[in-house]
């Protein structure tokens, strides 16, 4: 496939991942083998469910509002750290952690981007050892949140895009 459109490239890559998953046919979401290996190495396992109460209370006291999609992601993946590094599908793999308290004090940034996108962005972690935050909207769309905004797609495919090194799609007019 040849395209100059990054959104089309990401959609194509996500489609390949989805097709591979459908062929595997396991459970509610069949992870690409490499993504599952990385996630398991970080401590994830099928059926993982952790308590999010402390994160909810601390972040809501800071001005955030946790929605069901963020709670679901954090129950399954909260507290995990992925080392990253190496080539990816359309970008280098980058370290990330799913520790939402890294965004304490950033409610203004998340609020501004939420207003601009008409979505409720809730922090779920950080990317690249703190060079950017990860946020999730109520639709399950995973974003890079910094002085610009980009999206990895909708969960659970967004998690695979993040793990496997798929370039997030930069939002138009998303510069501050």
- Distance CA(133)–CA(127), nearest Å, equals 6
Model pTM? 0.82
Would 55 be classed as within a structural domain? yes
Would 1 be classed as within a structural domain? no
Would 176 be classed as within a structural domain? no
Q: How many CB atoms neighbour CB 28 within 10 A?
A: 6
Cβ partners under 8 Å of residue 21, min gap 6: 29, 30, 31, 32
Q: Percentages helix, strand, coil for the chain, rounded to the nearest 5?
A: 40, 20, 40
pLDDT at 21: 45
Would 115 be classed as within a structural domain? yes
Would 35 be classed as within a structural domain? yes
Would 10 be classed as within a structural domain? yes
Angle at 58 between CA 55 and CA 64, to 5 degrees: 90
Find the domain containing 113 and state its range. Answer: 6-171
Tens of pLDDT along the chain (176 residues) come to 566 666 565 555 555 554 544 444 444 578 999 999 999 999 999 999 999 999 999 999 999 999 999 999 999 999 999 998 889 999 999 999 999 999 999 999 999 999 999 999 999 999 999 999 999 999 999 999 999 999 999 999 999 999 999 999 998 865 55
Of 116, 125, 111, 130, the closest CA to residue 64 belongs to: 111
- The CATH number of residue 127's host domain is 3.40.1580
Would 167 be classed as within a structural domain? yes
pLDDT at 26: 42
Strand spans (E) along 77-131: 81-82, 96-97, 122-127
Q: Is the dihedral of CA 11, 70, 73, 162 positive or negative?
A: positive
Would 149 be classed as within a structural domain? yes
* Number of domains, the chain: 1
What DSSP assignment string belongs to 94-105? --EE--GGGGTT
pLDDT at 144: 97
């Amino acid at each position: 496939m040849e395209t100059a459109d990054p959104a089309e490239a990401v959609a194509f890559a996500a489609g390949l991942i989805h097709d591979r998953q459908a062929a595997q046919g396991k459970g509610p979401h069949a992870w690409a083998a490499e993504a599952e290996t990385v996630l398991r190495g970080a401590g994830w396992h099928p059926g993982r469910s952790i308590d999010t109460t402390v994160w909810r209370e601390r972040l809501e006291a800071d001005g955030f509002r946790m929605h069901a999609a963020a709670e679901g992601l954090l129950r399954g993946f909260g507290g995990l750290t992925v080392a990253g590094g190496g080539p990816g599908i359309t970008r280098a793999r980058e370290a990330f952690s799913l520790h939402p308290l890294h965004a304490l004090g950033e409610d203004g940034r998340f609020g501004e981007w939420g207003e601009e996108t008409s979505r409720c962005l809730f922090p779920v972690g950080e990317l690249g050892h703190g060079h950017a935050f990860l946020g999730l909207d109520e639709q399950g769309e995973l974003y890079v949140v910094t002085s610009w905004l980009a999206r990895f797609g909708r969960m659970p495919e967004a998690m695979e895009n993040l793990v496997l090194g798929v370039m997030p799609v930069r939002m138009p007019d998303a510069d501050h």
